[in-house]
Amino acid sequence: MNLSNTSPLTSRVWTVSGLCHAISDTLKSRFNPVSVQGEISGFTRAASGHCYFSLKDDAGQMRCAMFRRSADYLNFAPRDGDLVEVQGRVGLYEPRGELQLVVEAMRPAGAGQLHEAFLRLKAKLEAEGLFETSRKRAIPERPRAIGVVTSLGAAALHDVATALQRRVPHIPVRIAPSLVQGADAPVQLVAALQALQTLPEVDVILLVRGGGSLEDLWAFNDEALARAVVACKVPVIAGVGHETDFTIADFCADLRAPTPTAAAELCAIDRATDLRHLQNLQEPLAQTVHWRLDQAAQALDRAERHLGRPSGWLHQQQTECNSLASRLGRGVTQSLHRKRLKLQPLGPSFERAVADVPKNLQHRLDKFQGLLGSLDPALVLKRGYAWLQNEEGRALSSVQDLSPGQSVQAKLADGEVWLQVQTESKP
């Protein structure tokens, strides 16, 4: 058929890519962002980390892609047959002309599946030891500042602020706002925690939100948030929902409070308690101060009396000095008297000893003189002995010291004579 010879089918002829692009733009402007609920079919996860699957219901299905940057935030493992809610952007995959939903967030749909995902994550983190009480830190009794992570529009913030103002109005509060519900809430909660723990004065952080359904509280069952709570540098108190509500964040926190208001009451000792403690200390402290003041007043009175009547003080000091001098004199006299009594029996013995000293010394002198005389060499010479010495005056006491022709001096009792050795000495 020759189109040039017939009426035009339309007023404009599209290229295939142009039409696909126009349809894609129309879909993006008309529907996005979009939330879809459906059953997962044909789920696969590529080596790159991207996930590909279909969402279907009783009447239709749609191809879906979830890229790695979004898939890394999944807090459960999607499987075929799971009923899920996804948020993303619908568009046309132009290379094949196929309708496609690019998924940016996914969560289980229905309380039953959410509870199952909750139990799986709880078992996983518990096996890793994230819930161990031994690793949890004590809450400081008097923090320098209190951090609060919650939504600025949440009723929990009003409850926490009211409780803190009533109990600890003197402690500053630092608020890190964050979404507490929805797909973007976990990321913002983690960022708020990390921001607060960098403030040097913040010593405790309250992670709070009001009550709600399991779906409403699901952001606090996020694995990344749980690990951020465990890794937080300061203690974390979780107060999420009502007393019967439990989240993964509760198990990971250093302390779990049943409500946001209870979290505010547990984060510090209230001012009234400290005031009562100070009042209990006031009475004994006042008594001690009064006693010290009374002692000081008495000392001041004594000093005033002394200054007002210096002659009386001088007379008192003079009297004390006279008393000490009298006691000293009596003590010296008594000491001399006692020593004199001890020396009296020794007087006669001392006089006899002094009288016997010259006689004893003369006797000892005579004894030594006789002994010295018995050792006189002249007495030995008188008995016929001679004392020989060589020319140098050295005494000769052995024939080994003599040699033929040697001159030897002999000392006798009545003089000296020189002798000459004639023959060789023999021993």
Distance separating alpha carbons of residues 1 and 239, to the nearest angstrom? 75
Residue 23 maps to which CATH number? 2.40.50.140
Ranked by mean pLDDT, the top range of 53-67, 78-92, 95-109, 277-291 is 53-67
pLDDT at 150 over 50: yes
Lowest mean pLDDT among 54-58, 73-77, 325-329, 396-400: 396-400
Of 12-16, 65-69, 180-184, least confident by mean pLDDT is 12-16
Asked whether residue 99 falls in the same domain as residue 142, the answer is: no
- H helices of 256-406, in order, are 260-266, 271-308, 310-343, 347-374, 377-382
Whether residues 210 and 249 share a domain: the answer is: yes
The residue to which tokens 């001041």 are assigned: 300
- Residue written as token pair 């890793």: 128
Please state the rounded mean pLDDT for residues 112-133.
88
Question: How many domains does one find in the chain?
Answer: 3
Of 272, 297, 315, the residue that ends a domain is 272
Does residue 263 carry a pLDDT above 90?
yes
Query: Cα dist. 170→140, 145, 260, 261 in Å?
Result: 15, 9, 20, 18
The CA-based diameter of the chain, rounded to the nearest angstrom, is 189
| pTM tops 0.85 | no
- Output the pLDDT for position 6: 47
Residue 81 is predicted with a pLDDT of 82
Residue 259 lies in a domain: yes
Same domain, 253 and 168: yes
Are 58 and 159 part of one and the same domain? Answer: no
Q: Note whether 106 and 139 are same-domain residues.
A: no
Average pLDDT, the chain: 84
The answer to whether the beta carbons of residues 84 and 108 sit under 8 Å apart is yes
Q: Is 89 found in the same domain as 150? A: no
State both tokens at 169.
């109005």
Contact 199, 145 (CB under 8 A): yes
The reply to whether 206 falls in a domain is yes
Q: What's the rounded Cα separation, in Å, for the pair 342 and 326?
A: 25
Domain with 190 in it: what CATH number? 3.40.50.261
Q: Is residue 3 part of a domain?
A: no
Does residue 141 or residue 312 have the better pLDDT?
A: 141
Q: What is the pLDDT of residues 348-385, one digit of tens each?
A: 777 777 777 888 888 888 888 777 777 677 677 777 77
CB 205 within 8 A of CB 237: yes
Q: Both tokens of residue 109?
A: 């749909």
Is there a single domain that holds both residue 248 and residue 206? yes
202 in any annotated domain: yes
Last residue of a domain, one of 253, 272, 291: 272
CA distance 92 to 69: 21
Asked, for residue 334, whether it belongs to a domain, the answer is no
* Res. 5: pLDDT tops 60: no
pLDDT of residue 308: 63
Query: Could you tell me which residue, 241 or 398, shows the higher pLDDT?
Result: 241
Phi, psi of 285 (to 5 degrees): -65, -40
Task: Tell me: do 169 and 253 sit in the same domain.
Answer: yes
64 belongs to a structural domain: yes
Write out pLDDT tens, residues 207-229: 999 988 777 899 999 999 999 99
**How far is 261 from 19, CA to CA, in rounded Å?**
58
Task: Tell me the average pLDDT across 412-426.
Answer: 77
Residues 224 and 268 in one domain: yes
DSSP assignment string, 32-97:
-SEEEEEEEEEEEE-TTS-EEEEEE-SS-EEEEEE-HHHHTT-SS---TT-EEEEEEEEEEETTTT
Q: Is residue 327 part of a domain?
A: no
Identify which has the larger pLDDT, 368 or 29.
368
User: φ and ψ at 221, to 5 degrees?
Assistant: -105, 20
Both 139 and 98 in one domain: the answer is no
pLDDT digits (tens, 9 = 90+) for 65-81: 999 999 988 877 888 88
Residues of the chain above pLDDT 90, percent:
36
Contact 176, 198 (CB under 8 A): no
pLDDT: which is higher, 127 or 297: 127
Report yes or no on 81 lying in a domain. Answer: yes
103 shares its domain with 158: no
For residues 241 and 395, give the distance between their C-alpha atoms in angstroms, rounded to a whole number.
128
Which domain range does residue 405 map to? 378-420
Relative to beta strand 407-412, strand 173-177 is unpaired
Cβ pair 248, 222 in contact under 8 A: yes
